[in-house]
Amino acid sequence: MRALVTGGAGFIGANLAGRLARDGHGVTVLDNLQSGFRSNLDPWPQIKFIEGDIRDPAAVAEAIAGAEVVFHLAASVGNKRSIDNPVSDSEINVLGTVRVLEEARRTGVRKIVTSSSAGIFGELKHIPIAEDHPLDPDTPYGCSKLCCEKLCLSYAKLYRLEAVCLRYFNVYGPLQRFDAYGNVIPIFVFQMLRGQELTIHGDGDQTRDFVNVSDVVQANLKAAATTGVSGAFNIGSGTVITINRLVEMLRDVSGSEVRFRHGPPRPGDVRDSKADITAARQKLGFVPGVPLGEGLAAYLAWARQEASGHQGPKAIIRQH
């Protein structure tokens, strides 16, 4: 398989590109390195890397040439980032996706697998969340990702192109660096390693569905391999944990005392979240395989090496 991974130097993208390369597929990565790291791809010299932006039609055309499958992960990610920079969020997520879709259509790409988000649901009406849950995003990020989904699925209806949109819940794992806009797990882990006090936004009883990046990689590969299927699918663990319990688990895994305080809730954050992954299991064969405790231990080991500045493992990906 010849594959293009947009955003392939980022956290999820580099894990996916590395797995594809390890499995013997031809891989091209397109990334502008605004949030990705060229070093994430160092273990895989066979990957063709193109530094460029998905909003640039020339860069997209160069990257997509010869691709059978496009894994579209390049995006401006996160509710808070979109609240602070709504124009940039839409330019990257919406216009960038149109550029990728147009070139995919023009060159005869067989399938596009697009990274979406549980942010498209907004404040939840019921738990667990199936794909038919009302779509009522309450941040620019949720709106832009929903627009990306609709664009991809409309192209699948209009043209000879299959499209699968994977709605990620809270993804974590190796290569995920500290980002104040990002997932609570890297924020907490890197603050712990620096000896800093953690801030739990709200009472800490809010729930999250954390899914390991190796399971997300698995979902992408199964989506690409499944023929005759277009649609949107939830990708999570199907389990939940409170933020208070997460802090306890990090303390247990690290063997260190963890100082924390409670602060005000973050704008745009939902109270509870849990994915119903029945459709992905039935249509794609997706079965998450990394328990949270195991995944946290592996991530903490990677983060310690990253924080120390030593060359450690670039990715830890379970076989499925």
Domain edges within the chain: 2-308
Q: What is the model's pTM?
A: 0.93
The β-bridge relationship of strands 260-263 and 198-201 is parallel
Does residue 180 have a pLDDT over 80? Answer: no
As a 3-state breakdown, the chain gives helix, strand, coil percent values, each rounded to 5, of 40, 20, 40
Q: Please state the rounded mean pLDDT for residues 81-94.
A: 92
Rounded Cα distance between 118 and 275, Å, is: 9
Residue in 122, 317, 76 with CA at minimum distance from that of residue 215: 317
Torsion of CA 200, 193, 305, 20, to 10 degrees: 0
Q: Per the omega criterion (within 30 degrees of 0), is the bond before 43 cis?
A: no
Q: Please state the rounded mean pLDDT for residues 184-194.
A: 94
Which pLDDT value is given to residue 313?
A: 40
Q: Does residue 172 carry a catalytic annotation?
A: no
Structure confidence at residue 319 as a pLDDT band (50, 70, 90): very low
Q: Please state the rounded mean pLDDT for residues 186-196.
A: 94
Instruction: Give the C-alpha distances (Å, rounded to integers) separating 319 from 23, 188, 237, 289.
Output: 11, 27, 17, 9
Average pLDDT, the chain: 93
pLDDT in tens, 29-75: 999 999 999 999 999 999 999 999 999 999 999 999 999 999 999 99
CATH fold of the domain at 2-308: Rossmann fold (3.40.50)
Rg (CA), the chain: 19
Which pLDDT value is given to residue 158?
A: 97
Work out the end-to-end distance of the chain between its first and last CA atoms, rounded to an integer number of angstroms: 18
Does residue 311 have a pLDDT over 60? Answer: no
Tokens of 5: 């991974």
Rounded Cα distance between 314 and 180, Å, is: 22
CB atoms within 10 A of CB 226: 17
Which pLDDT value is given to residue 316?
A: 39
